[in-house]
Amino acid sequence: MGRVIAFFDRFGRSIFSALEEMGSMLLLFLSVVAWAGRPPFKTRLIIKQMEFVGVKSIFVVVLTGLFTGMVMTLQIYYGFRMFSAEALVGSTVALGMARELGPVLTALMVTARAGSAMAAELGTMRVTEQIDALYVMAANPVKTLIVPRVIAGITMLPVLTVVSVFVGVLGGYFVGVPILDINKGMFIKNITTYVSLSDIYNGLIKAAFFGFILSFVGCYKGFTTTGGAEGVGKSTTEAVVVAAITILISDYFLTALMF
Amino acid sequence: MIQLVDIHKSFKNQKVLDGLHLEVEGGKTTVIIGLSGGGKSVLLKHMIGLLKPDSGSVIVDGEDITKMNDRDLNETRKKFGMLFQEAALFDSMNVFENVAFPLREHTKMTESQIGDRVQSRLQDVGLVGVEEKMPSELSGGMKKRVGLARALVMEPRIVLFDEPTTGLDPIMTEAIDRLIYESQKKYNLTCVVISHDLKSIFDIGHRIAMLYDGKIIGYGTPDEMKNSENPVIRQFLTGSLEGPISVV
């Protein structure tokens, strides 16, 4: 009997703790929305974060996009060859990159690079009282720290996704045409025939949404850090895990809604 | 100037402040002493609205800051400066940007006016030529002095110091104490200092308040506190292991 009560006690506590965290995330979200629309706008901080999230992620995004496009071409080619449909390899790679792999892989890579850094930086600021110092100086930390990062996440992810899709298709071309001997004209023509503008738009909307998730989760986890260096490490890990899982789960629902 | 009235504060099941009353006099330095982990920093954070009490009032210039909305609270905070225990300088900014931050945030001063004000405050704390250095390149004492310059740059009327000399060598401790003393005199500041350092306490304090068991158990001038009959205050000020405060 005691064990059953203990089980329900633990279960109830974990439910309450999850609800409490969701409530505190919602409050922070509302605060971000309110501060984002209130001038003066911190343009310098926003540009700095855009550089950090966008420009400094280009290398890793190009690398992952390129090799993903290349390996997709290899795999799809071996499947499509069975039906003599090699000419459709290019368009399939382009569709896959634009609708799915471009936004998702970019978001996961930027989560690992920038989302974790946001959690670590804000977490360190929290435990070293730098966030308290902002409050003391009557500078709202949500406006100063979180809003620029979230704006950078939302705006830079679509840009990085465009880069990722472009180099992915380019990688597919270099494997498909010179190595696998797919007809160059058919490779390109089928891309323009089968990939519509809405595929690209929807992929970019997804990317913006993922950009919001990774920056918001990173900031939330950092902002609510407690417990010194250990707490910063825990927040950073949680930020990456929670953002990555949320991106993958929301990807399914967004895809179901959009396409 | 600052009144704390019947403040109660608990974290989970641990009661930290238990019906605390304190009145901080304007234009004087009040030093708060007490055991480590006894709630001194919590008390200081209540004065500036970083923490809200479970019950009770914090009155600054006649207004209860516990009932203020964020906008009014921010206006009240502009009267304050605060030096944190580890200085809390922004890692991503150099010394100049750290000290200039409140000016850029709240004033319409030109860059040249900001430059002049920052230089003047850095000179006050004896730091010249370090404007371009990052906080990670500074020693503990230098960080505290930059933190003090930042706390004073907006010309606040009230400055809070959270253990300003902890972790510093005796010479740097003396230097920081002198800076606090001189700044208080020069700008007629109301200072609240948390300190464990007995020499500092008597060097800079016009009033001393002893926090024990969530309450202020003694308040007075340094001489009054030295001559206190309260066994807790006596034990604390003599640093004795024998007495009502059991440590081990």
Q: How far is B52 from chain A (nearest CA, A)?
A: 13
Residue A136 and residue B75: Cβ atoms within 8 Å? no
Q: Is A31 on the interface with B (CB under 8 A)?
A: no
Query: In this predicted model, what pLDDT tens digit does every residue of A24-76 receive, in sequence order?
Result: 999 999 999 999 988 888 899 999 999 999 999 999 999 999 999 999 999 99
Q: How far is A126 from chain B (nearest CA, A)?
A: 10
ipTM for the predicted complex: 0.90
Query: In this predicted model, what pLDDT tens digit does every residue of B204-224 receive, in sequence order?
Result: 999 999 999 999 999 999 999
- Is residue B30 within 8 Å of B40, Cβ to Cβ? no
Query: In this predicted model, what pLDDT tens digit does every residue of A136-185 receive, in sequence order?
Result: 999 999 999 999 999 999 999 999 999 999 999 999 999 999 999 999 99
Task: Look at residue B212 and give its three-state secondary structure.
Answer: strand
pLDDT value, residue B248:
62
Q: What is the mean pLDDT of chain A?
A: 94
Task: Write the CB contacts of B114 (distance below 8 Å, at least 6 apart in sequence).
Answer: B100, B103, B104, B107
Q: Is B196 on the interface with A (CB under 8 A)?
A: no
pLDDT value, residue A246:
97
Tell me, what amino acid is at A167?
V
pLDDT average, residue stretch B162-168: 86
Residue B84 and residue A129: Cβ atoms within 8 Å? yes
User: How sure is the predictor about B23, in pLDDT bands with cuts at 50, 70 and 90?
Assistant: very high
pLDDT at A259 over 80: no
Task: Give the closest residue to A124 by CA, choosing from A49, A223, A21.
Answer: A223
List, as own/partner pairs, every contact residues B228-231 make where C-beta atoms lie below 8 angstroms and the sequence separation is at least 24, other chains included: none
d(CA B10, CA B238): 30
Residue A140 and residue B90: Cβ atoms within 8 Å? no
Mutant choice from A136, A140, A142, A226 vs B, greatest count of B C-beta within 10 A: A136
pLDDT value, residue A109:
97
Report DSSP letters for B42-64, one per residue: HHHHHHTTSS--SEEEEEETTEE
Q: How far is A242 from chain B (nearest CA, A)?
A: 26
Report DSSP letters for A39-99, one per residue: SSP-HHHHHHHHHHHTGGGHHHHHHHHHHHHHHHHHHHHHHHGGGT-GGGHHHHHHHHIII
User: How sure is the predictor about A205, in pLDDT bands with cuts at 50, 70 and 90?
Assistant: very high
Task: Look at residue B88 and give its three-state secondary structure.
Answer: coil
The torsion angles phi and psi of B130, rounded to 5 degrees, stand at: -115, 10
pLDDT at B167 over 90: no
d(CA B50, CA B144): 20
Tokens of B93: 């900014």
**Which residue in A has a C-alpha nearest to residue B47's C-alpha?**
A136
For residue B202, count other CB atoms closer than 10 A to its CB: 15
pLDDT at B18 over 90: yes
pLDDT average, residue stretch B125-149: 92
Task: Give the closest residue to A54 by CA, choosing from A154, A168, A142.
Answer: A154
Q: How far is B72 from chain A (nearest CA, A)?
A: 10
The single-letter DSSP state of residue B28 is S
pLDDT value, residue A96:
95
Query: In this predicted model, what pLDDT tens digit does every residue of B72-103 receive, in sequence order?
Result: 999 999 999 999 988 999 999 999 999 999 99
Tell me, what amino acid is at B20?
L
Query: In this predicted model, what pLDDT tens digit does every residue of A213-229 receive, in sequence order?
Result: 999 999 999 999 998 89
pLDDT at B246 over 80: no
d(CA B198, CA B224): 15
d(CA B58, CA B47): 6
Contacts of A132 in chain B (CB under 8 A): 45, 50, 84, 88
**Which residue in B has a C-alpha nearest to residue A131's C-alpha?**
B88
- Is residue B24 within 8 Å of B34, Cβ to Cβ? no
Task: Look at residue B217 and give its three-state secondary structure.
Answer: strand
Task: Look at residue B191 and give its three-state secondary structure.
Answer: strand
Q: How far is A136 from chain B (nearest CA, A)?
A: 6
pLDDT value, residue A255:
94
Task: Give the closest residue to A161 by CA, choosing from A118, A120, A114, A200.
Answer: A200
pLDDT average, residue stretch A91-103: 95
pLDDT at A2 over 90: no
pLDDT at B172 over 90: no
Residue B91 and residue A139: Cβ atoms within 8 Å? no
pLDDT at B198 over 90: no
Task: Give the closest residue to B74 by CA, choosing from B146, B129, B154.
Answer: B154
Task: Give the closest residue to B160 by CA, choosing from B18, B51, B20.
Answer: B51
Q: Is B90 on the interface with A (CB under 8 A)?
A: yes
Q: Is A255 on the interface with B (CB under 8 A)?
A: no
Q: What is the mean pLDDT of chain B?
A: 91
Sheet strand arrangement including B63-64: B14-24, B2-11, B55-60, B63-64
d(CA A167, CA A193): 19
- The share of chain B scoring above pLDDT 90, in percent, equals 70
Tell me, what amino acid is at B13?
N
